[in-house]
Amino acid sequence: MVPRLSSSPPAVVLLLSLLGLATAGKLLVTHVDGSPWLSVQEVLNTLRQKGHEVVVLAPEISVHIKPSENFVTKIYSVPYTKEEFEKDMKAYFHVLFEEGSFFERFFKVFESTKRLTNYGISNCEQLLQNKELIRYLEESKFDAVFTDPFLTCGAILAEHLSIPAIFFYRLVPCELEFEATQCPSPASYVPRAFSDNADHMTFLQRAMNLLYDIPNIFLCDFANKPYSKLASEFLQREVTVQDLLRKGSVWLYRLDFVLDYPRPVMPNIIPIGGVNCAHKELPEVGLV
């Protein structure tokens, strides 16, 4: 039987006294640019209103990350132009929604992902090599890093600064978030990317679902090796992307119950799909 907290006056006094221990924190933010930033900004604005200090690391070339009165922005240089970045970003999302066979879609996504990965690697490399900025981060005594596991640089900084990593994300390539958290992801239950399967599958569909994991082995290896190399050089010890993600404290998962299939998650994976609807009112519809 689970014990219940008594509602007696001494218990209430104890809880109220603990509220005094809650103080505003200092948060370091490094996140993926583009549409994910729109949801992140909503969260950061709310955190600032509650008294937290927020510092955002941003490349000089960005689509949506702009200076704001709600957080301090630290800018670092990158070796590419805004036109190049926006062109490849649009091409990537166009490929995601193209129709075609599994192999056609896979190779197009692979090539497009490769180009975007190169931007991320170059971005992370410039950040980690900025000695003045890294020294500032070391001296600032942050309480946590708020980042997207898709951009491994945030996890690298959390490890370097020895502070918790809070992952705010929509998806991670190759389902690394479930591997890192040791979350069950059986192919007989969870549809794989590009499979077009639903969460209710026939025996043949379940068997075929296993085959869709094979390309991920090559894709993940390709995408993660450069980040593992960067992390190992910066932290001065051998480390992999999986090692960094396993140390994530909380995973804030922007799971959408309309678009996503139900699946098992671990206790530290918290669905927060509703954040995408912040400040968006639905039109009034009259009932017949």
Domain extents in the chain = 25-81+117-277
Count Cβ atoms below 10 Å from residue 280 Cβ, excluding itself. Answer: 6
> What's the CA gap between 32 and 171, in Å, rounded?
12
pTM of the shown model? 0.80
- Which architecture, in CATH terms, is 25-81+117-277? 3-Layer(aba) Sandwich (3.40)
Residue linked to tokens 């900004």:
41
Q: What angle do CA 42, 67, 155 make, to 5 degrees?
A: 65
> What's the CA gap between 132 and 273, in Å, rounded?
37
Per-residue pLDDT of the chain (288 residues; tens, 9 = 90+): 444 444 444 444 444 444 444 567 899 999 888 778 888 888 898 888 888 999 999 999 888 888 889 999 999 999 988 888 888 888 887 887 777 776 777 777 777 777 888 888 999 999 999 999 999 999 999 999 999 998 899 999 999 999 999 999 887 877 788 888 988 888 778 887 767 788 788 888 888 888 877 766 667 777 788 899 999 999 999 999 999 999 999 999 988 777 777 778 899 998 887 776 655 555 555 444
